[in-house]
Amino acid sequence: MKRLFLLNLVFLLVGAQAQTGKLNLSSYAGRIAASGISNQELAAQLRSDARLDTVQARALRILTGFNAGTGYGEIWIRDFNTFIKGSLKAREQRDVKDALLLFFKIQGTDGNIPDGAIHKKQANVGYQYRYSELAPDWAAHKNTVETDQESSLVQAVKKYIDVTGDKEILQETIGGKTVLQRLEAALNYVMTDRWSKEYGLVKGATTIDWGDVQPEKGWGVALNDKTKWAIDIYDNAMFVMAVNDFMTMIPASGALHKKWQTTVAALKKNIRKHLWDAGRAKYIPHLYLNGSPFSKDFDERSILYTGGTACAVLAGLHSKAEIRKINDQFLRAAEKEKFATIGMTVYPPYPVEEFPNMAAYNYQNAGDWTWFGGRMIQALAANGMVLEAYAEMSPMIDRVLQNKGFYEWYNVRNGKASGSGDFRGEAGVLYDAIELLRSWARAVK
């Protein structure tokens, strides 16, 4: 068995090296074995890598739809936010705009944004649906354990404006309120209903990193009498990005801008104070507000949360030195499993005794999600770590080609593609990551 494993490892490394030209990788996850490739060589490789063209073309073929994938009937705002740029390449601008505006039509009176929207005739899952006269053909529902829906919508509108230049969307009136007013109402909902005054941070239910399932057996996506309120980096990093995006939509000299500028500055300070473990150079998983759902002798703080951390890097919360340490941690965790990339959600996984609602190495409990790993690729590229971004994206690209499509998540122990097929979140983040890398390559002389 040992010899067979070594042969498989050699095959994987040779394959990775062949696919990335002069770039030599020392692990499946994409660690760079040695330096020696110049920016010019890297740019040439990025421009000529046919895998990237194939993956982008395949992505655009499925980004004609707005639902999350073959396993979902809903348009989920947290998913749509991550593939809207690709959607604008694959669909008419008006179609994408209408999909965005739908979420304002089903917005709650308190400003909250639902998770998903589905045609009424398809609304037959176990969610508690709600309806709006502004969107009579749709049913909406909210996974109440999450606190990222409002942030996701703000970010999606910003991306839409960045791509199209259509700032007029902010003045569209829906139910007597402009989109801009509704965006602020969404942010205010978080500040009112999902805010810890004690810590000055966003709160939500205890889940795994960015996940939407609580530990106890049962319908884990809804708040219940067992819910343990907690603060984590994912919700807060997403809110930082959302507030920053909102501030680009309003006059920089006004009182409203100053209000949110003060809010986000305090938020960043409190993230560093309460969530960042400087000694370990990682985020603590949870800061509990009404007790932990886990046993007293369980060392949760040793668990690495990759998805929320990737969002923190995207939110501009780290120096380049810290980003290098974070990335090395991601790689070291991935290298402990045969088929893991830096998209592996958490490591080590929660044992079933602590998290009975989700088995170890399954789904969000140390499954491998390019949907978030691809965001770290974008974060690396945006922070000048283009070589690392390309290398660590390589296994993500290869498995899309190997599986002839995009999947929700992958098993890190056997490499099996799992969950929904045609998963648009994976397609979207890879499309955007490739765009970033190719843009850098075009600028290199």
pLDDT tens, position by position, 208-240 = 999 999 999 888 999 999 999 999 999 999 999
Q: So what's the pLDDT on residue 19?
A: 53
379 vs 41: CA distance, rounded Å? 22
- Cβ neighbors of 54 (< 8 A, separation 6 or more) are 401
User: How do residues 150-183 score in pLDDT, each as one tens digit?
Assistant: 999 999 999 999 999 999 999 999 999 999 999 9
φ/ψ region of 172 (left if φ > 0, alpha if ψ in -120 to 50, else beta) reads beta
Evaluate whether 399 touches 28 at the Cβ level (below 8 Å).
no
Structure tokens at 44: 């040439």
pLDDT one-digit tens code per residue, 262-276 = 999 999 999 999 999
Q: Which residues contact 166 (CB under 8 A, 6 or more apart)?
A: 93, 97, 160
Please give the Cα distance from 241 to 191 (Å, whole number): 15
Q: What is the pLDDT of residue 20?
A: 59
Kind plus residue range of the DSSP H or E element containing 305 = strand 304-305
pLDDT of residue 270: 99
Q: What span, in angstroms and rounded, lies between the C-alpha atoms of 322 and 328?
A: 10
- Residue from 217, 221, 81, 208 nearest 142 by CA: 221
Place of tokens 């399954």: 362
- Burial profile 19-46: b = 16 or more Cβ within 10 angstroms, e = fewer: bbeebbbbbbbbbbeeeebeeeebbbbb
Are 206 and 227 within 8 A, CB to CB?
A: yes
| Per-residue pLDDT tens over the stretch 73-128 | 999 999 999 999 999 999 999 999 999 999 999 999 999 999 999 999 999 888 99
Average confidence (pLDDT) over 196-204? 99
- The reported pLDDT for the residue numbered 1 is 39
Query: Considering only CA atoms, which of 177, 176, 172 is closest in space to residue 188?
Result: 177
- pTM metric for this prediction: 0.95
Decide which of 23 and 413 is more confident: 413
3-state secondary structure 56-116: HHHHHHHCCCCCCECCECCEEHHHHHHHHHHHHHHCCHHHHHHHHHHHHHCCCCCCCCCCE
Least confident of 2-16, 297-311, 312-326: 2-16
Average pLDDT over all residues of the chain: 95
Identify the pLDDT of residue 12. Answer: 45
Query: Does residue 336 surpass a pLDDT of 80?
Result: yes
Average pLDDT over residues 408-423: 98
Question: Is the predicted pLDDT of residue 203 greater than 90, yes or no?
Answer: yes
CB 427 within 8 A of CB 83: yes
Element at 418 (helix H, strand E) = strand 417-421
Q: Is 70 exposed, middle or buried (0-12, 13-18, 19+ CB in 10 A)?
A: middle
What is the full DSSP assignment across 189-221?
HHHHHSEETTTTEE-EE--STT----SSSS-TT
Q: What are the two backbone dihedrals, phi and then psi, of residue 199, each rounded to the nearest 5 degrees?
A: -110, -10
